[in-house]
Copies of this chain bind each other. A is one copy, B any other.
């Protein structure tokens, strides 16, 4: 069983601190696939992979090291944040279900609250509260507004004390599908067309349920781009997004030059595109050779 975990911590300017955080996670026996820091955000993102037990140990170790090293009272950065370990999403990858990731988020949230006296808010699939599914909703007001917020009706944490940890604030822990960062470049420099297509396909303005989109200009290439996040590739598959953008572009006499996936993509998102275009029937993921090789020891 493989789960991905992408903790975001509020430290991006002191490399020696980030190294200590990464070391703490590795010391707990968890694979750190990647980590990157942004100084202007003053924030770092780690990418971890493992089974539930390993990730729980790794995240607890990360909290221990982060609470020792980070004080939100003196933290400044462009990116909104609530806590030292700001956000911890668990993502099902292989042989793991969303239900298992939700259970892990709750288990880790309870353990963090108990061991470190940090209040924990559950989010996305781990939260049953519609007002507390969206990360931006939970993080509104940031660390500086947290004490006042938590005293309001409906903002008791899911685990831990009713007030922020003095230096470490609060943490948001949950489960979500993998995000796919997907861009489509038009065979045109007309950013107005890219913006119209983005408005047509994104959820917020009436489009597909799991698409966030904006239109922008790639100045260095003089191309218009529809830049997207696909937040649930099972329910809103990548091929349907591609075909819808293509059709909307045609209406303006514009064609698709190319598309690109930024960063990682789950194999299943590409396999489903192959199934669609090749009109594959009676196909199961057990037929993918690598899947079979991994699943049968």
Contact = CB atoms under 8 A, between A and B. Distances in A.
A49 interface: yes
A93 interface: yes
A271 interface: yes
Interface in A232-280: 238-239, 242, 256-261, 263-267, 270-271, 273-280
Contacts of A279: 242, 256-259
A289 B270 CA distance: 11
Interface in A275-297: 275-283, 287-294, 296-297
A67 interface: no
A189 interface: no
B290 A261 contact: no
Given A273-B274, A279-B258, A290-B94, A296 B31 contact: yes
Contact of A260 (B93, B257, B282, B294): B282
Nearest to A272: B274
A289 B266 contact: yes
Contact of A178 (B257, B287, B289, B296): B289
A4 interface: yes
A33 interface: yes
Interface of A: 2, 4, 31, 33, 49, 93-94, 178, 238-239, 242, 256-261, 263-267, 270-271, 273-283, 287-294, 296-297
